Chains A and B, each alone.
Chain A
Amino acid sequence: MHISEGVVSGPVMMAGAALAFAGTAVGLKKIDYERMVHVAILSSAFFVASLIHVNLGPSSVHLILNGIVGLLLGWAAFPAILTALLLQAILFQYGGITALGVNTVIMALPAVICYYLVGPLPGRGPRYTFVAAFLAGAGSVGLAALGLGSALYFTEKNFLEVSMLVMTANLPVMIIEGIVTGFCVTFLLKVYPEIFPRRGPEK
């Protein structure tokens, strides 16, 4: 899912960096500093998730875990994912420093969208929890694939083809991520419910 160095055009790179900066700024403002350990745990989980990969066709896909990061962190997913991606680029040479902004938006924006769409559902009962977490896991990968297609469109100009390819390649990952997120969230709600964001009036 990581866009490599030098793939996207200059304007897309700049737009990605600007959006990532804005998202990170909002995230830092909304972060609950009393619960920084949760941000660290989820950022670490995201950091190592991409090491688990599935080889498909000419390309390679891997676990992303942006759904669970979004569900549990909300806007704080932006700084958490940005940090993890930066370290992946430096330590594993995944993606690239110049594509960092675009990659952050591709993975963090779906996480925030899922937080708003299905975030309130976990906790309303076991069935709701699993379905909501599955949707967050699968949906955030689907949206990330769509974002990747859009970013590549401005470079390759064949949006439908690229998007279809990305979506098809990531379909198994969507299902796997949905199931992994479903089980993780259900389990976490039982053993460590404090990790869920405190919903209520915005600070």
Chain B
Amino acid sequence: MRKYLMTQKKGQKKDLLPGGTLLALILILLGSSPAWAHKVYVFAWVEKGTVYTESSFGDQPVHGGAIEVVDRDNQVVLQGKTDDRGKFNFPVPVAVNSDLLIKLDATMGHQARWTVTLSELMAEGDEARQQLDEAMTKKETLEAKPSMAAVATGIAVIFLICGLASLIHKKRKKHNG
């Protein structure tokens, strides 16, 4: 391999940016990316006596994901599957007396949970509207895509860690003679 690498090295410019090629690849891949996704979440809100749930991988709905609704005592209240738009709705159970935990199993280790509080389930009139507004704000936060700032922060942190490791190693080497 060495020999091959040596022959490859001949006749090539040495001043190529080490990360340039991979960085270009990353940018191309990001540019062609159809969506930003991979977190899994289930979100639920209550409106006019119905609990609406929405399950998603960011901006792609979870098709046919298993939904299980349990009460405070971990008793299964009902089960179902999300539709093509990642939705699954059910009427507020008549005998509800605790918060409801909604569990999503989107297969392959993708799971998520969301709690609908008893006050949300019981709210009426203005209070219900206020609860709904709060729920929608939470939904927007959940749906937020990873920003370029987050990506840049991650890459910067990786380079910082590697730089520090390299620096510590050099100091140790110097210290040990």
Instruction: Please tell me the size bucket of the interface on A.
Output: 35 or more
Query: Do B18 and A192 touch across chains, with their CB atoms under 8 A apart?
Result: yes
Beyond known contacts A52-B29, A58-B65: 13 more, CB 8 A cutoff = A1-B108, A4-B40, A7-B111, A41-B22, A53-B60, A59-B62, A60-B110, A122-B1, A125-B4, A162-B108, A165-B107, A188-B22, A193-B5
Q: Is B170 an interface residue when CB atoms closer than 8 A count as contact? A: yes
Contact A123/B110 with A37-B162, A83-B161, A191-B21 known, Cβ cut-off 8 Å:
no
Query: Do A2 and B38 touch across chains, with their CB atoms under 8 A apart?
Result: yes
Query: Do B57 and A92 touch across chains, with their CB atoms under 8 A apart?
Result: no
List the A side residues contacting B146 at CB < 8 Å.
51, 91-92
- Looking at B106, B154, B169, the one whose CB has the most chain A CB atoms below 10 A away is B154
A31–B146 CA distance with the chains assembled, in angstroms: 31
Query: Do B38 and A44 touch across chains, with their CB atoms under 8 A apart?
Result: no
A84–B159 CA distance with the chains assembled, in angstroms: 11
Q: Is A6 an interface residue when CB atoms closer than 8 A count as contact? A: yes
A38–B158 CA distance with the chains assembled, in angstroms: 11
Looking at the assembled complex, report how far the CB atom of A74 sits from the nearest CB atom of chain B, in whole angstroms: 14
Q: Write out, one digit per residue, whether chain A residues 174-203 have a CB within 8 A of any chain B CB (1) or not (0).
A: 000000000010011111111110010000
**Smallest CB-CB A-B distances: 3 pairs:** A3-B109, A123-B1, A40-B162
Residue contacts A-B, CB under 8 angstroms, 6 given: A43-B158, A51-B30, A51-B38, A57-B64, A152-B109, A189-B5
A57–B158 CA distance with the chains assembled, in angstroms: 33
Query: Do A59 and B108 touch across chains, with their CB atoms under 8 A apart?
Result: yes
Looking at the assembled complex, report how far the CB atom of A135 sits from the nearest CB atom of chain B, in whole angstroms: 16
A135–B12 CA distance with the chains assembled, in angstroms: 28
Contact A39/B38 with A6-B111, A58-B62, A87-B157 known, Cβ cut-off 8 Å:
no
Q: Is B76 an interface residue when CB atoms closer than 8 A count as contact? A: no
Contact A52/B33 with A94-B38, A196-B5 known, Cβ cut-off 8 Å:
yes
Looking at the assembled complex, report how far the CB atom of B42 sits from the nearest CB atom of chain A, in whole angstroms: 11
- Looking at B22, B57, B62, B169, the one whose CB has the most chain A CB atoms below 10 A away is B22
Looking at the assembled complex, report how far the CB atom of B36 sits from the nearest CB atom of chain A, in whole angstroms: 6
Q: Is A48 an interface residue when CB atoms closer than 8 A count as contact? A: yes
Contact A47/B60 with A83-B161, A192-B18 known, Cβ cut-off 8 Å:
no
Query: Do B26 and A44 touch across chains, with their CB atoms under 8 A apart?
Result: yes
Near A by CB (< 8 A), chain B positions 1-48 give 1-2, 4-5, 8-9, 12, 16, 18-19, 21-23, 25-26, 29-30, 32-33, 35-40
Give the interface of A toward B (CB within 8 A).
1-8, 31, 33, 36-45, 47-53, 55, 57-60, 62-63, 83-84, 87-88, 91-94, 99, 120, 122-125, 148, 151-152, 162, 165-166, 169, 184, 187-196, 199
Q: How many residues of B contact A (CB 8 A)?
A: 55
Query: Do A60 and B60 touch across chains, with their CB atoms under 8 A apart?
Result: yes
Query: Do A88 and B62 touch across chains, with their CB atoms under 8 A apart?
Result: no
A43–B8 CA distance with the chains assembled, in angstroms: 26
List the A side residues contacting B65 at CB < 8 Å.
58
A188–B30 CA distance with the chains assembled, in angstroms: 20
Query: Do B166 and A36 touch across chains, with their CB atoms under 8 A apart?
Result: yes
Query: Do B63 and A151 touch across chains, with their CB atoms under 8 A apart?
Result: no
List the B side residues contacting A194 at CB < 8 Å.
18
List the A side residues contacting B111 at CB < 8 Å.
4-7
Contact A148/B63 with A41-B19, A52-B30 known, Cβ cut-off 8 Å:
no
CB contact between B18 and one of A50, A55, A124, A195 (< 8 Å): that residue: A195
- Looking at A47, A88, A193, A196, the one whose CB has the most chain B CB atoms below 10 A away is A193
